[in-house]
């Protein structure tokens, strides 16, 4: 009985143990199943938290440091107005309009002006120049004909000088092409943030970076329409997309954008985010340059600072935000006008502006500067020269990221006129069924060696092959003045006679060279002045062989020509390849009395804090004998008076003295002209990129572009100082023999004192020509 009872107890215990084990097994299984679920969730949560930390670091590290790589901004020369300046009222008004100044009835704000008869009243803009900060000035400029008569303060006394703010002409931007003008909150008109919130993100001040209400609304509208009709991106999301992300349309990118927008708003105040948006948002394209931010867009589209924009202009910029390509005001003005008016209606409905203001703005034209000559323009040919000069002193990273300000010598008005003259010339001379005729122009001031304008091709506003800097072509007769200069340094004078007759020059391997004149004729014994004026080939080669080709090569180097120069006889007639900029360097030395100063386009560089970093002073050295250069320059004046340049001279004012020389390469493939007044020297090349013959000479091609350009601008007569020991004599132009009053075909030429010239037979009183050494110069000026 007892054993049965014990056995029962053991069975009961075993049963309980079995049930307990089953229960434990079920619990362990449930726990295992929970771990299978929660461990991945925990790992996912940890991964997400890590991802948030990464995104948070990405957001804060970039926003706490320098937010943008700031390209170096490049400025043209500022126009300095003073009494006596050769500037008409029309030209000043054109300059002000190019700078975006607004014509008003009574100038009071910076960037405004009015013209009253022969007077222009204006208020300049404040600007930080290389020599210090300049505040806004109220000035009145009076004119007498084509010159400034005086400058006064409006309501005050006379001013010695008024300096306008310089035109922004481009930037040295990084490989991504982004360009911008960064503005602080106090530099942004209050209307812009208000308009952005009304048009792009009404709940900007309430949402945490992502607007759930807007998402729900957009989803409802899009589902109802069966297509995407409305977006829900906040201003913060747009900023994140532009600043951190790409424009790819994927769910992953959209989620990342939302997370980063929330993180951005957790760290930074709304005002800071909105100002970053104003500086970051993409607003258009200018070739390879991407226009970012309202500051640069204001210059690019309206040609003036953001602070000077009026209501209708601000509304247009806000309209462009929706899609800069679709709403490009230069390509699709009607689209922009329609959306601009919608923006104005929204602003009025929200109370940001009054109904009256909105209606008045709606009635205004778009106001976008449609021509490239206004606004934040881009001159690729000139900027290429600037970049080459800066590369010698600055690292590329500094130029593209450090926010430097580069001040240059570009004259925007002259640049525009050079572009117009070349475009008109190639159009006029283009031959049917031929490749596009090309050209290049370089304009410099020979007295300062500053480059004032560069045109690299017929399509001046497009980047690409820069013929002004890189097209090395045979210069033809442009080299002849150097041959004559070598002879003048060697003891010849402009009255020295040289035979323009057939000549046979021995070459290597028993060969010979027999150059011919362009007209196929010989002219006998002629003075040097006539041989150069009429560009006689045979006389030039005979003179060059007498002087020696190596002497000519040495002189070319001293005058500033670099590169390989072979001392071959053919060099005497222009078998020498140079780019237009190199020709400008050569002729600039001749026009400045034989003093060589390297051409320059950069005046100074300023740091982002306004501190001057680099000045570019003149470096001048004497390259040739001033007396010989003086004689040569007067011969180049005769080129324009009597020789191959006389047709160009006929287009200019009769009282203006200019000097110049034509050039044509073999088979009429290249046409050149180089000519100057006192403070302007222009070199023009025309030809085909494939080196096909043009069928035109320098006189009929490039010279026509030069004369068109010089006919457009104010000119000062070329007038070099007379070196000591020089006198003027009268010679017969045809023969070089001495003449007196009423005898032969007299031309006055400078020669060293004591020079004796044989008399023209039957011409009495020729020796009287030596009595007044300076009379010839006064006669030239008259």
Each residue's pLDDT tens digit, 207-261: 888 877 766 665 555 555 555 455 568 888 888 888 877 667 677 778 888 888 8
Tokens encoding 664: 């044509």
Q: Look at residue 727 and tell me whether its pLDDT is greater than 80.
A: yes
Q: Look at residue 779 and tell me whether its pLDDT is greater than 50.
A: no
Whole-number percent of the chain with pLDDT over 70: 86
Give residues with Cβ within 8 angstroms of 57, minimum separation 6.
none
Q: What's the average model confidence in pLDDT over 434-442?
A: 93
* Confidence band of 376 (pLDDT split at 50, 70, 90): very low
Which has the higher per-residue pLDDT, 605 or 444? Answer: 444
Q: What is the CA radius of gyration of the chain?
A: 38
Q: Look at residue 772 and tell me whether its pLDDT is greater than 60.
A: no
- For 144-184, how does the pLDDT look when each residue is reduced to its tens digit (9 = 90+)? 988 999 999 998 999 999 999 999 988 887 767 788 888 88
Listed as own residue / partner, the contacts of 320-327 with beta carbons closer than 8 Å and 24 or more positions apart are 320/283, 320/284, 321/196, 321/199, 321/200, 321/281, 321/283, 324/282, 324/283, 324/284, 324/285, 324/291, 325/285
* Confidence band of 472 (pLDDT split at 50, 70, 90): very high
Listed as own residue / partner, the contacts of 317-321 with beta carbons closer than 8 Å and 24 or more positions apart are 317/192, 317/283, 318/192, 318/195, 318/196, 318/199, 318/200, 318/343, 319/343, 320/283, 320/284, 321/196, 321/199, 321/200, 321/281, 321/283
Q: What's the average model confidence in pLDDT over 472-489?
A: 96
In the residue annotation, 477 being an active-site residue is answered as yes
Measured between alpha carbons, how far is 484 from 668 in angstroms, rounded to an integer?
Answer: 23
Instruction: Kindly name the residue from 95, 178, 200, 389 that is annotated as catalytic.
Output: 200
444 neighbors 477 (Cβ within 8 angstroms): no
Bridge partners, residue 162, by sequence:
81
Alpha helices in 507-625 (DSSP H): 528-533, 537-547, 549-558, 580-591
* Confidence band of 12 (pLDDT split at 50, 70, 90): low
Q: Look at residue 613 and tell me whether its pLDDT is greater than 90.
A: no
Q: What's the average model confidence in pLDDT over 285-302?
A: 89
| Percent of the chain as helix, strand, coil, to the nearest 5 | 40, 20, 40
Q: What's the average model confidence in pLDDT over 509-528?
A: 92
Q: Look at residue 769 and tell me whether its pLDDT is greater than 50.
A: no
Q: How many Cα neighbours within 13 Å face the side chain of 566? A: 9
SS (H, E, C) 210-266: CCHHHHHHHHHHHHHHCCCCCCCCCHHHHHHHHHCCCCCCCHHHHHHHHHHHHHHHH
What is the DSSP track for 449-503? TEEEEEE-SSSTTS-S--HHHH--EE-GGGGHHHHHHHHHHTT--TT-EEEES--
User: What's the whole-number average pLDDT of the chain?
Assistant: 86
- So what's the pLDDT on residue 375? 43
- For 111-129, how does the pLDDT look when each residue is reduced to its tens digit (9 = 90+)? 999 999 889 999 999 998 8
In the residue annotation, 280 being an active-site residue is answered as no
Tokens encoding 709: 């350009």
- So what's the pLDDT on residue 174? 73
Measured between alpha carbons, how far is 106 from 424 in angstroms, rounded to an integer?
Answer: 38
User: Which of 409, 483, 432 is CA-nearest to residue 166?
Assistant: 409
* Confidence band of 2 (pLDDT split at 50, 70, 90): very low
User: Which of 586, 701, 575, 581 is CA-nearest to residue 645?
Assistant: 701
Measured between alpha carbons, how far is 39 from 30 in angstroms, rounded to an integer?
Answer: 14
569 neighbors 479 (Cβ within 8 angstroms): no
* Confidence band of 753 (pLDDT split at 50, 70, 90): very high
SS (H, E, C) 571-588: HHHCCCEECHHHHHHHHH
* Confidence band of 631 (pLDDT split at 50, 70, 90): very high
- Helices (H) and strands (E) in the chain — how many of each? 24, 32
Instruction: Kindly name the residue from 140, 416, 477, 677 that is annotated as catalytic.
Output: 477
What is the pTM (predicted TM-score) of this model?
0.84
- For 303-349, how does the pLDDT look when each residue is reduced to its tens digit (9 = 90+)? 889 999 999 999 999 999 999 999 999 999 999 999 999 999 999 99
């Amino acid at each position: 009985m007892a054993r049965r009872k014990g056995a029962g107890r053991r069975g009961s215990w075993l049963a309980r143990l079995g049930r307990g084990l089953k229960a434990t097994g079920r619990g362990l299984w449930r726990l295992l199943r929970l771990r299978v679920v929660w461990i991945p969730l925990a790992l996912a949560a940890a991964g997400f938290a890590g991802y948030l930390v990464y995104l948070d670091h990405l957001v804060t590290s970039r926003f706490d440091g320098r937010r943008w790589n700031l390209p170096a901004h490049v400025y043209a020369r500022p126009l300095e107005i003073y009494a006596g300046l050769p500037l008409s009222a029309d030209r000043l008004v054109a300059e002000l309009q190019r700078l975006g100044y607004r014509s008003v009835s009574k100038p009071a704000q910076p960037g405004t002006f009015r013209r009253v008869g022969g007077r222009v009243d204006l208020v300049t803009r404040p600007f930080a120049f290389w020599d210090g900060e300049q505040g806004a000035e109220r000035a009145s400029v009076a004119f007498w004909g084509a010159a400034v008569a005086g400058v006064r303060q409006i309501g005050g006394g006379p001013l010695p000088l008024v300096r306008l703010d310089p035109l922004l002409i481009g930037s040295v931007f990084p490989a991504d092409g982004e360009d911008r003008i960064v503005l602080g909150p106090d530099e942004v008109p209050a209307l812009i943030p208000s308009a952005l919130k009304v048009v792009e993100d009404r709940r900007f001040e309430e949402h945490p970076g992502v607007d759930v209400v807007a998402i729900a609304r957009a989803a409802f509208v899009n589902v109802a329409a069966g297509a995407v009709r409305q977006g829900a991106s906040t201003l913060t999301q747009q900023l994140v997309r532009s600043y951190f992300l790409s424009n790819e349309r994927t769910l992953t990118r959209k989620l990342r954008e939302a997370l980063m927008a929330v993180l951005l708003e957790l760290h930074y105040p709304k005002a800071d985010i909105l100002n970053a948006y104003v500086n970051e948002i993409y607003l258009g394209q200018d070739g390879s340059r991407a226009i970012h931010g309202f500051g640069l867009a204001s210059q690019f589209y309206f040609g003036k600072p953001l602070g000077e924009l009026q209501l209708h202009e601000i509304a247009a910029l806000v309209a462009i935000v929706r899609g800069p390509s679709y709403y490009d005001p230069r390509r699709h003005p009607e689209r922009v006008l329609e959306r601009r008016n919608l923006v104005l209606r929204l602003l009025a409905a929200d109370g940001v502006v009054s109904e009256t203001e909105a209606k008045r703005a709606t009635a205004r034209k778009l106001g976008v500067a449609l021509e490239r000559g206004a606004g934040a323009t881009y001159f690729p040919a000139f900027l290429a020269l600037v970049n080459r000069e800066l590369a010698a002193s600055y690292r590329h990273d500094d130029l593209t990221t450090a926010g430097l300000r580069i001040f240059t010598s570009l004259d925007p008005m002259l640049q525009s006129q050079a572009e117009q003259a070349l475009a008109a010339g190639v159009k006029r001379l283009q031959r049917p069924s031929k490749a596009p005729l090309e050209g290049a122009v370089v304009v410099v001031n020979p007295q300062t060696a500053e480059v004032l304008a560069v045109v690299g091709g017929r399509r001046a506003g497009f980047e690409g092959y820069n013929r002004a800097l890189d097209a090395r072509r045979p210069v033809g007769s442009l080299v002849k003045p150097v041959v004559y200069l070598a002879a003048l340094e060697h003891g010849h004078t402009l009255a020295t006679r040289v035979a323009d007759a057939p000549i046979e020059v021995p070459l290597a391997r028993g060969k010979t060279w027999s150059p011919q004149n362009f007209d196929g004729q010989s002219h006998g014994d002629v003075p040097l002045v006539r041989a150069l004026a009429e560009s006689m080939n045979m006389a030039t080669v005979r003179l060059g062989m007498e002087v020696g080709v190596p002497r000519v090569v040495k002189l070319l180097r001293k005058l500033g020509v670099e590169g390989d120069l072979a001392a071959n006889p053919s060099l005497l007639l222009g078998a020498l390849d140079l780019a237009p900029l190199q020709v400008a360097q050569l002729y600039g030395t001749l026009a400045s009395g034989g003093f060589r100063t390297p051409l320059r386009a950069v005046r100074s560089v300023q740091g982002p804090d306004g501190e001057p970093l680099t000045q570019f002073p003149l470096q001048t050295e004497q390259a040739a004998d001033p007396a010989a250069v003086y004689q040569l320059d007067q011969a180049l004046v005769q080129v324009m008076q009597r020789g191959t340049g006389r047709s160009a001279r006929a287009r200019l004012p009769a009282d203006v003295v200019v000097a110049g020389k034509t050039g044509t390469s073999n088979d009429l493939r290249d046409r050149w002209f180089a000519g100057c007044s006192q403070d302007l020297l222009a070199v023009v090349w025309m030809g085909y990129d494939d080196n096909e013959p043009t069928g035109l000479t320098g006189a009929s091609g490039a010279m026509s572009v030069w004369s068109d350009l010089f006919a457009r601008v104010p000119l000062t007569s070329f007038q070099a100082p007379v070196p000591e020991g020089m006198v003027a004599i009268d010679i017969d132009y045809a023969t070089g023999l001495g003449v007196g009053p009423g005898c032969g075909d007299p031309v006055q030429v400078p020669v060293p004192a004591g020079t004796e010239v044989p008399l023209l037979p039957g011409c009495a009183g020729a020796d009287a020509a030596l009595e007044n050494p300076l009379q010839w110069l006064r006669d030239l000026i008259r």
